[in-house]
Structures are given as structure tokens and as C-alpha cells.
Amino acid sequence: MVNDPIGDLLTHIRNGYMAGKQRVVVPHSKLKVELANIFERKGYIKRLQVKSQVSKSGKSEQKVLEIDLKYTGTKPAMENAKRVSKPGRKIYVDKDHIPSVLSGYGTAVISTSKGLLTDKEARKQGMGGELICQIW
């Protein structure tokens, strides 16, 4: 069992890019879908699909996320992704201290009472929250 589903998602995507893969498959969760939707909206991944897959034992079906990775030539659209707030050490930011990633070229993802928001969306709505990750 994975204790950090967000870290697991970021690692799958990062490893997929480093291996030059076109697609990665990760176990499904609502939080992962919400985070991957932000990645798709910001142009870090090509496409996200939720599918059912037969388990390895062949006895049951489980939902998985199929994430199509995006490249510009041979260069990955996502250079790096850093998990900021971790299960053992939560990092919170208020609306006035939301970090800018690479002077605005990257994206920070913040968990707020209205769901996951990018740094720009959180600033616009005047909301702070848990700083989940930074992507560039």
C-alpha cells in the first residue's frame, strides 16, 4: 500500500519522462485525478483517462489512470516535479505568501477548501492552503 499517493503519482510521471515513455499507468484516486487534471490544463501532460483494468490475479477489476505524457521534440513538457508538503511534514501557506515557481514559469499546486488550485488561481481567489507540489 502506498502511504503517499501524490508522491507516487509524481514519481510515476517523472520516471516515465526519464525513460522516454509515451504513457504511464497509475492506480486511481480522486486526488490523483484532480491533480492530473491540473497538469493537463497547464500543458504538462497530453491526456488523462480513467479506465478499468483487470487485476494481476484476474479476479477483480480496479480503476487506473492512463496518463499520456507530452513532449516537445524529445524534451519532456515537465522538467521536474517536487513534492513540498509530505505526509510527515505538512507545509501551509497563506494567501499573501504563495510562492512563485521559477518567476512564474512553473506552477505550484495548493490544496484549499475549494479543492486543488494552481498558485495563480489561489492568488486570484485570495486563498491559502497546503502547498502540495511545485512543477516546472
CATH code of the domain containing 55 = 3.30.1370.30
Please report, for the domain that includes residue 118, its CATH number. 3.30.1490.10
Interval 13-66: pLDDT, tens = 999 999 999 999 999 999 999 999 999 999 999 999 999 988 777 788 899 999
- Supply the pLDDT for residue 24: 98
Q: What's the pLDDT score for residue 59?
A: 81
Number of domains composing the chain = 2
> What's the distance, CA 102 to chain centroid?
18
Q: Which domain holds residue 65?
A: 5-76
Q: Are residues 52 and 108 in the same domain?
A: no
Domain stops at, among 25, 52, 76: 76
DSSP letter (8 states) at residue 67: E
Listed residue (38, 37, 29, 27) closest to 66, CA to CA: 27
pLDDT digits (tens, 9 = 90+) for 103-132: 989 999 999 999 999 999 999 999 999 999
**With 0-12 CB in 10 A as exposed, 13-18 as middle and 19+ as buried, what is 133?**
buried
* 46 CB-contact burial (10 Å; exposed 0-12 / middle 13-18 / buried 19+): middle
This prediction's pTM: 0.90
Q: Report residue 83's pLDDT band, with 50, 70 and 90 as the boundaries.
A: very high
